[in-house]
Structure 1
């Protein structure tokens, strides 16, 4: 029999579509299993400010289709100190919370792992980030929706690029991960894709664009991840324009619209699977683990490993294919 009687769930870091679907699954799975459920608003800041709300099955009605997070999220500098974490833990225990489900990215997991080790409270992490940059899961929550949002924008931009013989540089999110850029670039038919994980010389990019212009391409789209080494879309566009004036050059920064919007079917189901698995893992005695999806099966990975293992998710065959299909 599990000794866990009350579980707290919170979202932290950047919001990601599908977080609400996950919260819904966590709450309802816990209640079905006879556990009291508490929502912690504004992440770690909410632990310090005692923003705890009792949740029942009706508390999570009509949220599966919503982007963002109904529990809110916030930065919390106090939690980065041991004193701040001690104060948060005191509030958690006073609220009768025995275990936590943490939904977020590597920053969220770092805080959860520290809290669990320092004060021996069980924690299960759910990978909620559009960047798809955590080890131990094929897909993070929100990645599919964000990618589809980018593809929709690329399709619209291509309409005007073709109408005016323009070269568009489209910057997408991804400081350290090029997953969104690569996936959306292939799906959107981009002529070139610039990634943080790969160095691309401006001269090579210009050569590629010149080859396209020489084969009667009347417009082109280049997708750039924000962490790409040449300094982002505006800097790349400026350097290309100095040496290559075949097209009228424009820049579009998609920004935070990639984090919003109603989650796709995939992210709704993924969030539900993650939330269900997280509660069951806690009740089975697991601790400091992240739930992930590997080969379409739920898998548990040590939270510390999910944070520290930075193996790339960029498949070499996709990289090669993107070059071939862009000729």
Structure 2
């Protein structure tokens, strides 16, 4: 293998730049060329590709977002688009590809893998919804961003004696809401992996109100619906002042935490090592603090599961 390409695709996540840096410098360390592919799979089709050097990734480890930019590509979903992508890779002499992103990005990597082009997936998404890894790049940073917001909201909730419903991202996964709810002391956590029982939420709020508690935090994962709807139910049925905060894309930005920088560095270097050993069609991940790899197609077929222990603990501590 003489040259490796790297791209980021889908939603950005803090730590993607650290992963790009790791891929680039690992390649240079092993004396092989490395090409950055800009604007994801669409950029690959269009030939937005250039060789990267050590200096290309200087001073980016602490930056959020992705220096390679990102985009969605409907064209790449077609056989014709995939053929164009492989032609571009061949034109630049790229022998293997590192794809940094979430499940949509991994699905793109499987398409290239099925056509015989070696790809390694590196999980980068704040949703933490990729099977085969305990954590994804960006999750820890997003979690800390949410916690900072929750702490501030609790101050004003206390001052005004209000209920706050806070909506966080995560798509169809509840990890961000669950971890943030537990760390932020939320009274109730609503996640898509568990059927929402509004009666229990209302009962818990009412029980707290009766013992003198004048504020509550309700953590709502976007996968269960709008926090506005839940807030309206609370206001209507309990007649308690209720407000909504939708944190939105603030969760995807910001300087990555030390954990995300280290994770990205480890996974990026591992992806290069696999390609150098002529292995493709895999994803890298972290399990029990050890770097692992799995067949990328098999990993995507597995169901993401929320941590049962954390969910039970959150219920136990929010009585």
TM-score, L = length of structure 2: 0.99
Runs of 4+, deviation exceeding 4 Å: none
CA RMSD of aligned residues (A): 0.8
Q: Distance in 1 between matches of 2:253 and 2:304?
A: 27
CA contact (8 A) 1:175 1:196 kept: no
CA contact (8 A) 1:135 1:305 kept: no
1:127-276 alignment runs, 5 A limit: 127-228=123-224, 231-245=225-239, 247-276=240-269
Q: Distance in 2 between matches of 1:295 and 1:316?
A: 17
CA contact (8 A) 2:112 2:118 kept: no
CA contact (8 A) 2:5 2:34 kept: yes
Show the counterpart of 1:320: 312
Q: Distance in 2 between matches of 1:306 and 1:12?
A: 18
| Structure 2 runs not aligned, ≥5 long | none
Q: Distance in 1 between matches of 2:292 and 2:170?
A: 25
Q: Which of these residues, 283, 296, 309, is aligned with residue 289 of structure 2? A: 296
Q: Which of these residues, 1, 14, 17, is aligned with residue 17 of structure 1? A: 14
Please state how far the C-alpha of 1:315 moved relative to its aligned partner.
Answer: 2.0
Q: 1:122-161, CA deviations, whole angstroms, 9 ceiling, x for partnerless residues?
A: 1111000111111111100000000000000000000000
CA contact (8 A) 1:18 1:64 kept: yes
Q: Distance in 2 between matches of 1:184 and 1:311?
A: 18
| Structure 1 runs not aligned, ≥5 long | none
Q: Distance in 2 between matches of 1:316 and 1:82?
A: 40
Q: How many aligned residue pairs are there?
A: 319
Q: Distance in 2 between matches of 1:250 and 1:263?
A: 29
Q: 1:207-258, CA deviations, whole angstroms, 9 ceiling, x for partnerless residues?
A: 1110111121111110000011xx320011111211111x311000000110
1:92 aligns with 2:115: no
CA contact (8 A) 2:11 2:101 kept: yes
Q: Distance in 1 between matches of 2:132 and 2:196?
A: 28
Q: 1:40-63, CA deviations, whole angstroms, 9 ceiling, x for partnerless residues?
A: 000101111110011011110000
